[in-house]
Structure 1
Amino acid sequence: MGEAPRLLDAAGQEHRPFRGEARIVSLVPSLTELACALGLAGSLVGRTGFCIHPRDTVRSIPKVGGTKDVDLARVMALAPTHLLVNVDENEKPAVDALRPHVGSVVVTHPIEVEDNIGLYRLFGGIFGCEGRAGELEARLRTVLAAARAQAHAPLRVLYLIWSNPWMTVGPETYIARMLAEVGLHAVAPESPARYPQVDLDGFGAERFDAVLLSTEPYRFTEEHCRALRADPRLAGRPVCLIDGEMTSWYGSRAIDGLDYLRAFRRELDLARAAEGLPT
């Protein structure tokens, strides 16, 4: 038999299979959901207030603040063996302050959709749930192949995540990579920021074919869509509401997310065709 693969997280830290009674604190909604999908709900002893899925399961798990404003004392009091964090979603100083009080800090940073496979394998190897991790991997590979089998005409989209100021997603983000799987190419001003601000006066409508308003982190609604459709700066470009959980949550959510995006792209093409626009 060959050697078992090394369990390296996004920070390059190697982890060992844990065979004791795990006490997991997750500071990331996607990772809380993934842990539950892997059968680890009984090992979760703490989560953020934004960790809301699966709803019935997480209700009984104590909260430790938010992703950006973690209650450090509360986390320490839970005596976790493992802390699940993400480069984009958690503040490094808070994570560093917790390191001496946690057995292992597992750092994640998926960018490509395929990075979820490594995430499944990492958690499966650490927590001894390789079987369930393999099932998730197989399901993700199936929906990813289905998405890529469709010949989508490329559409440029301005994907807005915040208002006042307007903010969008850069090309080197997980959201942009998810959108690209169905031919939606996120456009953004040139900026070193991963989530740059957008000036709609200077970033003209000739740069995009449609505007997508995400339901998170800002709670865009259909009312916002109606208001933007009347904005002359958008030159009549379609404005659509899109489920931010389906595009930005990774882990097990990527499977449903890809199915959602395939259906979303079909609806967007129909709407554009009804307006006489190319699809």
Structure 2
Amino acid sequence: MPHEGEARIVSLSPALTELVFALDLGTHLVGRTGRCAKSVEGLAAVSCVGDLHSIDYERLQSLNPTHVLMDFGNTPKTVVDALDALELPLLSVEMTDPQQNFDLYSLFGAVFSVPMAADTLSRRFEAALARVTMAMRNKTRQRVLYLAQKDPYQTVAKSSYGAALLDLAQLELIGAPETASEMEDGGALVMTESLLLSVNKILFNGSSVKFKRADIKAFAEEFGVPRSKLVRLDNDPNMQFGVRAIDSMDRLIALREKTDA
């Protein structure tokens, strides 16, 4: 249902924050997390409610939000439980497939009464998807190992948004469980020789807080893997939804060119 009255939005997700601005709703944003400040220029002036793992719930409540935007799949359970207990007006999304972006645009367009802006994003995303489909039409599938984080090394489930995104580029995750619930020890991976030899490329989470270039160099030296087999992504695939999904399609095409090399 469309929101009646002045919307007061708090975003706990950088990707959703960017979507708010893409829909020209930035003036309604009254709160955000620390990481959100890195996603949109000038956002530092918006009240910060802490980081995702250490939310200042008192400050969050004091902002009197009409909507608290949350990316369920990338939010710690303790935070989800705390938000539920406070009975805050949550608008939660759980992205598992790039096709869901169409529904996400429509949802925000309806709730915040900006259907035309939402339709514009849908048409842009549809065109971007078509470019990927065309670019991959003669590609064969490649086997890749994707490392989402280190200490210990972890991957993501095949049912995750990130895996589905990479699949658009005909990149199949190896060593990944079907679902997150099947992960043992938090998804820790053992870097066996057979695993490393079974893949065409090894992909590293491009988030600056996950893998730096020095980490990738150390990985190559520790496991004796040629640097040419290692590819650092430009971002975190699990976070490339909303308006980010549009640009991520062209990055997928560029990524596939790297894995083909």
**TM-score w.r.t. length of structure 2:** 0.88
For the residue of structure 1 that corresponds to 2:182, the secondary structure is: coil
1:252 to 240, 243, 246: 243
How far has the Cα of 1:246 moved from its partner? 5.7
Change (3 A) 1:183 1:52: farther
The code of the aligned residue for 2:94 comes to H
Change (3 A) 1:22 1:101: farther
For the residue of structure 1 that corresponds to 2:68, the secondary structure is: strand
Residues 172-191 of structure 1 mapped to structure 2, 5 A cutoff: 172-190=159-177
Change (3 A) 1:202 1:136: same
Distance 1:130 1:53 in 2: 27
1:221 matched residue in structure 2: 212
Distance 2:230 2:78 in 1: 38
Distance 1:19 1:199 in 2: 52
Identity over aligned pairs, percent:
31
Structure 2 residue runs without a partner (length 5+): none
Change (3 A) 1:95 1:121: same
How far has the Cα of 1:232 moved from its partner? 4.1
1:136 matched residue in structure 2: 121
For the residue of structure 2 that corresponds to 1:84, the secondary structure is: strand
Distance 1:147 1:130 in 2: 26
Q: Tell whether 2:183 aligns with 1:193.
A: yes
How far has the Cα of 1:160 moved from its partner? 0.8
Distance 2:8 2:227 in 1: 52
2:41 matched residue in structure 1: 56
More helix by share: 2
Residues 89-108 of structure 1 mapped to structure 2, 5 A cutoff: 89-99=74-84, 104-108=89-93
1:123 matched residue in structure 2: 108
For the residue of structure 1 that corresponds to 2:117, the secondary structure is: helix
Distance 1:97 1:108 in 2: 17
1:239 matched residue in structure 2: 230
Change (3 A) 1:209 1:126: same
- Residue pair 1:29, 1:51 contacting (<8 A) in 2 also: yes
Distance 1:31 1:24 in 2: 11
**TM-score w.r.t. length of structure 1:** 0.83
1:157 matched residue in structure 2: 144
The code of the aligned residue for 1:39 comes to D
Distance 1:98 1:171 in 2: 28
Moved more, 37-46 or 98-107: 98-107
The code of the aligned residue for 1:144 comes to L
Structure 1 residue runs without a partner (length 5+): 1-15, 272-279
Distance 1:102 1:51 in 2: 23
Moved more, 254-263 or 95-104: 95-104
Q: Deviations over 1:30-83 (max 9, x none)?
A: 111111111111001000111135432312111111122211111001010111
- Residue pair 1:162, 1:217 contacting (<8 A) in 2 also: no
Name which structure has the greater RCO, CA cutoff 8 Å, separation 6+.
2
1:264 to 233, 255, 258: 255
